[in-house]
Amino acid sequence: MRLAGLYVITDSQVRDPLETARLVLQGGGRIVQLREKHMTTRQLVRIGQALRTLTREYGALLIVNDRLDVALAVEADGVHLGQDDLPAALARKIAGDRFIIGVSAETVEEARRAEADGATYLGVGPMFATATKPDAGAPVGPERLRLIKQAVAIPVFGIGGIAPANARAVLEAGADGVCVISAIVGAPDPRAATQTFIHLLSEVAREPLT
């Protein structure tokens, strides 16, 4: 499966991760990340195993945030690593060539280093102000994403504060997709919200380049 399009991240403080994933998958989403900072390892494994079963039913990808050990234990498709997590080069050595490794990046230098270390894709952000990650730095904006996209050959996703109203700017800057939390997890109807994003992604993809 090509790494592009809509990428949805769970948040159990807003909605149960399994419910989130089920509604997203029913709405057409095909990339789900398990991101739960406040869970124990056993809790992560239990939910990860259930998500693995669910995502396989839909032919979707499962990514685990931060925890390579949990990702491997539940047979996820990949892991997403921050700048303070396990280095991508070491994760690649442990997990092998086929494992998906995403890396967070805010600068061109971080993006190039991640690509050189074996990253499969980049999560660039925060694009806009976000309450989901209080420790996130100042918004980097679509223009920084454009520069990063021009500097690397791997897929680039915009993340942070993305909603239907501002996603177009991220996509027009060259993003291969958008990572979304609140605008879907916190929506009254996550399935409908997923479909809104997918429609927007398809619409932008069909527009001629200028």
Q: What is the pLDDT of residues 105-133, one digit of tens each?
A: 999 999 999 999 999 999 999 999 877 66
Q: Which two tokens stand for residue 32?
A: 């789900």
pTM: 0.95
**Are the beta carbons of 59 and 30 closer than 8 angstroms?**
yes
Q: Which of 133, 146, 168, 191 is catalytic?
A: 133
Mean pLDDT across 170-178: 97
C-beta separation of 105 from 114 below 8 A: yes
3-state secondary structure of 195: helix
What are the boundaries of each domain within the chain?
5-204
Active-site residue among 12, 22, 104, 149? Answer: 104
Are the CB atoms for 50 and 18 separated by under 8 Å?
A: yes
Q: What is the 3-state secondary structure (H, E, C) of 94-134?
A: HHCCCCEEEEEECCHHHHHHHHHCCCCEEEECCCCCCCCCC
- Crossing angle of helices 108-116 and 141-151, in 10° steps, is 40
C-alpha 54/C-alpha 77 separation (Å) is 13
Query: What does the pLDDT read at residue 47?
Result: 98
Catalytic residue among 12, 22, 30, 35: 35
Q: Which of 160, 153, 198 is nearest to 174 (CA)?
A: 153
Residue 55 has pLDDT above 70, yes or no: yes
Q: Does 202 qualify as catalytic in the annotation?
A: no
| CATH architecture of the domain formed by 5-204 | Alpha-Beta Barrel (3.20)
Asked about 37 being catalytic, the answer comes back as no
Token pair listed for 111:
């993006």
